[in-house]
Amino acid sequence: MTTIMEGKKVAAYLSGEIADALAESHKHGINPKVAFVRIGELTDAISYENAAVKRLEKLGIETEQYHFAGDVSAKAFLTKFREINEDYSVNGILLLQPVPKHIDMKRVVELMNPIKDIDGMTPVNMGKVLTGEPDRLEPCTPAAVMEILKFYDIDLKGRNVTVVGASAVVGKPLTLSLINREATVTTCNLYTDDLVDKCRNADVIISAAGARNLIGDAHVKAGAVVIDVGINFTEEGRMVGDVDYEAVKDKTSYITPVPGGVGAITTTVLAYHLMMATDFQKEPVLFLED
């Protein structure tokens, strides 16, 4: 029998943990706050920001939005960004991507205080994902996948996991987290030869490629766990993932739907990371030198 892994159930569980941590913070007079930083008016960035602000506010978390014109000078932006970074009332920063080409993204990310980096973008947090440090802040999407696997009690030790997609924000950090859980991981990309061969023996397939119907019947063995991170749209504008859901659903043991799977958890994970960040900041806050 197939279990549909419902993002809203995982989000509800995490929301309970967030509520407890938030109440504890308030008891100590701390009101955790996220600063959203966006340059320009790109639709995807705006919709993600709006969804995240709505989710955080529903959880009772304060937000502040900093919007810059697409042609803001690098100097003016960096001056303000430093101010936000050093503001003691800001516990978490989310820099919306992409940023315009004239802004040196690498420099901005390196400037960000790692203990405010609630979407795991800084080299310090990337390094901590590599070593599996407990005080790491991971990128939210791979963290959401790991939360689903944990919630549904999927054993990873010694299991064969195929990750399809190797980007710095999803596939690569996810691969490291899975290795840290002692899985045997195969990570594929656009140039991987014979994707069916890399998937058909996998106990767990996680697809984060952004290619509709990439994973079909031939890729999935009976009883496999299938997690679909992909977001694609049909000609009619319907949101679908990378997996041919109807073709594989009945042969899987667990599967995430799209929508309603991974995407339904990421903004709650962002809030969860804020609570972790706020906790780390109980220690004296260190600022990286420019």
Residues 113-142, one symbol each (x = binds ligand NAD by CB under 6 A, - = not), give: ----------------------------x-
- Answer for the pair 18, 271: CB distance below 8 angstroms, yes or no: yes
Q: How far does CA 198 lie from the centroid of its chain? A: 24
**Edge-to-edge order in the sheet of strand 225-228:** 3-4, 254-255, 225-228, 204-207, 160-164, 184-188
168 is in an annotated binding site: no
Instruction: Check binding of 263 to ligand NAD (CB under 6 A).
Output: yes
Q: What angle do CA 131, 133, 136 make, to 5 degrees?
A: 110
Q: Smallest gap, in angstroms, from Cβ of residue 92 to ligand NAD?
A: 18
**31-90: contacts with ligand NAD (CB under 6 A):** none
4 is in an annotated binding site: no
Q: Tell me the C-alpha distance between 132 and 125, whole Å.
A: 10
**169-198: contacts with ligand NAD (CB under 6 A):** 169-171, 188-190, 192, 195
Give the number of residues in contact with ligand NAD, rule: CB under 6 A: 25
- The residue nearest ligand NAD at its CB is 210
Instruction: Check binding of 262 to ligand NAD (CB under 6 A).
Output: yes
Nearer to ligand NAD, 91 or 175 (CB): 175
Identify which of 62, 49, 132, 99 has the alpha carbon closest to the alpha carbon of residue 111: 99
Q: Tell me the C-alpha distance between 114 and 124, whole Å.
A: 6
Q: Smallest gap, in angstroms, from Cβ of residue 44 to ligand NAD?
A: 9
Nearer to ligand NAD, 65 or 213 (CB): 213
- Answer for the pair 66, 84: CB distance below 8 angstroms, yes or no: yes
Instruction: Check binding of 266 to ligand NAD (CB under 6 A).
Output: yes
Q: Smallest gap, in angstroms, from Cβ of residue 230 to ligand NAD?
A: 4
144 is in an annotated binding site: no
Nearer to ligand NAD, 129 or 166 (CB): 166
167 is in an annotated binding site: yes
Q: Which of 40, 60, 210, 260 binds ligand NAD (CB under 6 A)?
A: 210
Q: Smallest gap, in angstroms, from Cβ of residue 30 to ligand NAD?
A: 28
Q: Residue 164 has which token pair? A: 């399809």
Outline where 39-154 has alpha helix (H): 43-58, 74-86, 105-111, 123-131, 140-151
Nearer to ligand NAD, 79 or 189 (CB): 189
Helix (DSSP H) and strand (DSSP E) numbers for the chain:
10, 11
Q: Tell me the C-alpha distance between 241 and 99, whole Å.
A: 25
| Residue 37: its H or E element | strand 33-39
Q: Tell me the C-alpha distance between 211 and 188, whole Å.
A: 13
Q: Which residues are known binding-site members for NADP(+)?
A: 165-167, 231
Cite the annotated binding site by residue number.
165-167, 231
Residues lying near ligand NAD in the complex (CB under 6 A) are found at 141, 164-167, 169-171, 188-190, 192, 195, 208-211, 214, 229-232, 262-263, 266
